[in-house]
């Protein structure tokens, strides 16, 4: 049996990632897949990117990461337009150390691998678009379309911050939720462990309590807007 740790939407939240890494028995994990949005919002992007690299995680770009990449390349982005949101991107781009700038610039927008004859594809939003939200409430017809157009038996995505496992025909759709920024009223980190045998696919979902106060303190020390500390402490969306 192969065990794959599924992560997504860490959003620079090192305390949450560290808590997950402590809760999981990493010695029993064969691979780590990270579906992007590793950076922005919490001010610990360097620690997050270092950990992912040290543990040889297969990481792809999320939509927030892609905007940071634009800034690193000297380009602008249109959205978000509010100053309170834009500062989180500029802060990340300005505080990334050289090796992590290089890591982010080298990331692709999708990944693929094969484990025990299972073809796995992973994306941030959807196979079609990085910013598409695939949610629990997304019509099955949309999942059918993606299943038919993506050559994979297991499709892993993030972006919606909603953990789920949907089986559409013979295709498994999985979202591990958000490690660093759940918005269901519970700030605990969300992740999943995928267990693969030749003929079986099984996923277990977990929540993990972490020191949210450390994130709030880090935001304050970095001089970032207080609304983000409130967002993390309450486990809610910003708007």
Q: What is the CATH number of the domain that holds 110?
A: 3.60.21.10
Give yes or no for a contact between 172 and 165, defined as CB atoms under 8 angstroms apart. Answer: yes
Sheet with strand 2-7: strands edge to edge: 58-59, 31-34, 2-7, 189-196, 201-208
Distance of alpha carbon 214 from its chain centroid, rounded? Answer: 20
Beta bridge partners of 202: 195
Domain membership of residue 87 as a residue range: 2-118+177-234
pLDDT score, position 239 = 66
In-domain check, residue 37 = yes
Total domain count, the chain: 1
pLDDT score, position 80 = 85
In-domain check, residue 99 = yes
Task: Name residue, tokens 């049996």.
Answer: 1
Q: In terms of Cα–Cα distance, which of 35, 239, 10 is closest to 125? A: 35
pLDDT score, position 76 = 87
In-domain check, residue 171 = no
Question: Which pLDDT tens digits describe the chain residue by residue (239 residues)?
Answer: 999 999 999 999 999 999 999 999 999 999 999 999 999 999 999 999 999 999 999 999 999 999 999 999 999 888 888 888 899 999 999 999 999 999 999 999 999 999 989 999 999 999 999 999 999 999 999 999 999 999 999 999 999 999 999 999 999 999 999 999 999 999 999 999 999 998 899 999 999 999 999 999 999 999 999 999 999 999 998 86
Beta bridge partners of 205: 192
In-domain check, residue 168 = no
User: What string of DSSP letters covers 182-237?
Assistant: --SS--SEEEEEEEE-SS-EEEEEEEE---HHHHHHHHHHTT--HHHHHHHHHT--
3-state DSSP call for residue 128? Answer: coil
In-domain check, residue 167 = no
pTM: 0.97
In-domain check, residue 154 = no
In-domain check, residue 139 = no
In-domain check, residue 72 = yes
């Amino acid at each position: 049996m192969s065990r794959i740790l599924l992560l997504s939407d860490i959003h620079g939240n090192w305390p949450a990632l560290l808590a997950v890494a402590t809760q999981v028995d990493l010695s029993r994990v064969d691979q780590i897949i990270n579906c992007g949005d590793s950076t922005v919002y919490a001010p610990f992007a360097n620690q997050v990117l270092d950990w992912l690299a040290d543990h040889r995680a297969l990481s792809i770009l999320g939509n927030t990461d892609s905007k940071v990449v634009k800034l690193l390349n000297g380009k602008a982005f249109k959205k978000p337009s509010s100053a309170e949101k834009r500062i989180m991107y500029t802060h990340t781009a300005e505080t990334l150390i050289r090796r992590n700038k290089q890591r982010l610039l080298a990331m692709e927008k999708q990944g693929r691998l094969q484990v025990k004859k299972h073809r796995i594809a992973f994306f941030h939003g959807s196979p079609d678009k990085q910013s598409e939200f695939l949610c629990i409430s997304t019509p099955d017809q949309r999942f059918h379309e993606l299943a038919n157009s993506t050559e994979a038996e297991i499709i892993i995505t993030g972006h919606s911050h909603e953990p789920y496992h949907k089986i559409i025909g013979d295709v498994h759709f999985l979202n591990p939720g958000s490690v660093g920024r759940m918005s269901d009223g519970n700030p605990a980190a969300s992740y999943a462990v995928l267990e693969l045998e030749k003929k079986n696919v099984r996923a277990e979902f977990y929540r993990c309590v972490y020191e949210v106060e450390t994130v709030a303190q880090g935001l304050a020390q970095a001089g970032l807007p207080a609304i983000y500390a409130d967002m993390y402490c309450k486990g809610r969306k910003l708007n």
